[in-house]
Amino acid sequence: MNSPYRGRFAPSPTGPLHFGSLVTGLASYLDARARGGRWLVRIEDLDPLRESEEAVTRILRSLEAHALNWDESVRFQSERHDVYEATIDKLLANRHAYRCICSRKELNEHGGRHPHRCPERAHAPGQPHAIRLRLESSTAHWQDRLLGLQQQTLRAERDDPVLKRKEGFYAYQLAVVVDDIDQRMTDIVRGSDLLETTPAQLNLAHLLGAQSPRYLHIPVIVNADGQKLSKQTHAPALNDRQPSTNLCRALAALGQQPPSALSGETPEHILAWGRAHWTPDQIPLNCATTPDSA
Ligand code: GLU
């Protein structure tokens, strides 16, 4: 891929940024900046039941406090419903997607498989249904910039990802691919908790006629109990009043070995150091543990 580097940080606004999200944001920022690329912020606000305006404001404020300044205007997925709907129409028309009326209970009872060959199952107009991607039954492989060759078998039907939920919300799997294509992303740098979503995303990008981006999956930051930092595990919000300390810790979590004196510098200075010394090969492969007070 020879297009100019474009990368992004794409948080879902379920809460304020925590140390784990800073590490992801910083990795994507430095990777883009070290290559002279553009770095965009996209708010993945697809689920109003779990997300809030307040979280959006806090996330953007936190990024600013850490001098993680983005290019172009922030994209909000909540403003992109028409495009997602049009993509679904196209996929349905090409039979790359199908309407699925199965309930979670039914799916569980059938070991995750759709009863009665769901994709061909007739259903009444107006009956609530999800839209699922018809995965190709084949093996997906791709080269991860950190993890090396990745291989996963796509099992049609059982794992067919939901593109639009029965409740009418567009799914992450659809929106992330549509927007990465539309925003001409060349590089995806994100947490390895999303590794398993990659094959379906590659499959969807292929069906939409797009070239696949490069991927770099970084280790997930865990707490002292080994749980991924998240709202569910009560990860504390980043303290925006100590951005330099946070950035130095995040650099260290990414294996970048910042000199200890750096934490007394401004966030801008620390980011300049990070960009000049960015060495993705040094990122540890395994989960990093969060520092206690981040
Ligand atoms: N919105 C997703 C999240 O917050 C990240 C999407 C991605 O980087 O692909 O976990």
The atom number, within ligand 1, closest to the CA of 172 reads 1
Question: Can you tell me which residue has the tokens 């595990």?
Answer: 233
Tens-place pLDDT, residues 219-270: 998 888 888 888 888 888 999 999 999 999 999 999 999 999 999 999 999 9
> Cα(first)–Cα(last) distance of the chain, in Å?
37
Measured in Å, residue 11 CA sits from the centre of ligand 1 at 5
Boundary (domain end) residue, out of 164, 197, 228:
164
Residue 53 identity: E
Domain boundary among 129, 164, 199: 164
What distance in Å separates the CA atoms of residue 154 and residue 208, rounded to the nearest whole number? Answer: 18
Q: Residue 277 Cα, ligand 1 centroid: separation in angstroms?
A: 26
Q: How far is the CA of 111 from the centre of ligand 1 (A)?
A: 28
Q: What is the pLDDT of residues 192-210, one digit of tens each?
A: 999 989 999 999 999 999 9
Residues 190 and 68 in one domain: yes
Asked if the structure places residue 104 within a domain, the reply is: yes
Write down the pLDDT at residue 17. 96
DSSP per position, 7-39: EEE----SS--BHHHHHHHHHHHHHHHHTT-EE
Query: Which is more confident, 94 or 122?
Result: 94
* Mutation to probe ligand 1, out of 6, 9, 12 (largest number of atoms < 8 A from CB): 12
User: Measured in angstroms, how far is the CA atom of residue 12 from the centroid of ligand 1?
Assistant: 6
**Is it the case that residue 292 has pLDDT exceeding 80?**
no
Q: How far is Cα 65 from Cα 236, in angstroms, rounded to an integer?
A: 17
Find the residues whose C-beta lies inside 6 A of ligand 1.
10-12, 44, 176, 190, 194
54 and 189 share a domain?
yes
> In the structure, what pLDDT confidence band is assigned to residue 63 with cuts at 50, 70 and 90?
very high
Tens-place pLDDT, residues 79-102: 999 999 999 999 999 999 999 888
pTM: 0.93
pLDDT at 157: 66
Atom of ligand 1 nearest to the CA of 14: 4
Tell me the CATH number at 123.
Answer: 3.90.800.10
> pLDDT grade, residue 107 (50/70/90)?
confident
Q: Do 61 and 204 have their domain in common?
A: yes
Is 1 inside a domain boundary?
no
Pocket test for ligand 1, best of 22, 26, 39, 190 (most atoms within 8 A of CB): 190
Residue 113 is classified by DSSP as S
Residues 214 and 273 both lie in one domain: yes
Distance in angstroms (rounded) separating the CA atoms of residues 115 and 118 = 6
pLDDT of residue 125: 74
Average pLDDT in the chain: 91
- Do 101 and 48 belong together in one domain? no
The answer to whether residues 154 and 200 belong to one domain is no
- What CATH number did the domain enclosing 267 receive? 3.40.50.620
For residues 159-187, average pLDDT: 95
147 in a domain, yes or no? yes
Buried b (16+ CB within 10 A) or exposed e, 33-52: bbbebbbbbbbbbbbeeebe
> What range defines the domain where residue 274 resides?
6-77+185-289
Q: Is residue 130 domain-shared with residue 201, that is, in the same domain?
A: no
* Number of structural domains the chain divides into: 2
